[in-house]
Amino acid sequence: MQWVLLTEEDYVTTNWSGGTTTQLAIAPQESVYANRDFLWRFSSAKVILEHSDFTPLPDYNRLIATVKGGLDMKVGDGARFSLAPYQIYSFDGAVSVESWGCCTDFNLMLRKGQCQGTLQALTLSAGSAVSWTAPVSAPEPFPRRTLAVYCGQGQVSLPEDHKTASAGQFLLCREAEDKPVCLESSQGAQLITAVIYSR
C-alpha cells in the first residue's frame, strides 16, 4: 500500500457562508468541488459565525465530526442537538442543516450510489500502538478501498511506511489492501480514521 502524508502546503482553502473550508483530498484528483463532479472529498471547516447554514449537497451523503469546540445542529425538521468533539454524525446532503457554535470540524462527502464510507474516532495513548482494520467488509459493488487517518491532536506514525502526521495533517492511501494497518504514537493522539469503498 502506498501512503502519502498531506500537510497544509497540499490543502486548498476557500470561503463559505459560515467561515472557511479546507480541502484535504478529493477524488478523482482533477475534480473541482465547485463543479460537484467529485466522487468523495475530505475537508476541514472553521466555523466562525455563531449561527450558520450548511451548503446544500443533494448528490452526496455526508459525515461530520468536530475536532475543536462543540457544535449544535438542526437537521431538516428535527430537533436541535449537540455534537460533542469527535462524535461522528452522518446525514443526507440534500437536507437543510443549521448549526450554532464556533468550531473546527472534519467532513467526508460521498457521492450517492457510487461509493460508501465510514468515519471512526480513535484515541492513542502515549507510547501505544494499535492494529487498525476496516470496520466492515467491502460491499460487493465497491471493491476498491481507500483509507485515511486525520490527526486532530498529538502525533501518529505509520511505522511500516516511515510516515508521521502531526496535528492537522492527513495520511491517505487511495488504493488500499484488505489488511490491518499499524498506527503508533509516542506522545498520544486523537484521530479520525476513514474507509471509503468505491468501484
Structural domains present in the chain: 9-111 (2.60.120.10), 115-198 (2.60.120.10)
In the chain, pLDDT over 70 holds for what percent of residues? 99
Mean pLDDT score across all residues of the chain? 95
Give the residue-averaged pLDDT of 8-29.
Answer: 94
Q: Tell me the backbone φ, ψ of residue 144, rounded to 5 degrees.
A: -80, 145
Instruction: Name the CA radius of gyration of the chain, rounded.
Output: 16
Give the residue-averaged pLDDT of 58-69.
Answer: 97
- Cell for 30? 482533477
In the chain, pLDDT over 90 holds for what percent of residues? 89
* Per-residue pLDDT tens digits for 88-102: 999 999 999 999 999
* Dihedral, CA of residue 112, residue 143, residue 105 and residue 24, to nearest 10: -110
Give the residue-averaged pLDDT of 13-22.
Answer: 90
Q: According to the model, what pLDDT value does residue 138 have?
A: 74
In sequence order, the β-bridge partners of residue 105 are 45, 66
**pLDDT at 135 > cutoff 80:** no
CA dist list (Å): 120 to 25, 44, 98? 18, 15, 23
Host H or E run for residue 46: strand 40-47
Nearest in space to 190 (alpha carbons), one of 147, 148, 146, 156: 156
Give the residue-averaged pLDDT of 128-142.
Answer: 85
Q: According to the model, what pLDDT value does residue 139 have?
A: 80
Q: According to the model, what pLDDT value does residue 32 have?
A: 96
Give the residue-averaged pLDDT of 49-70.
Answer: 95
Residue type, position 72, single letter? D
pTM across the whole model: 0.94
**pLDDT at 28 > cutoff 90:** yes
Give the residue-averaged pLDDT of 177-196.
Answer: 96
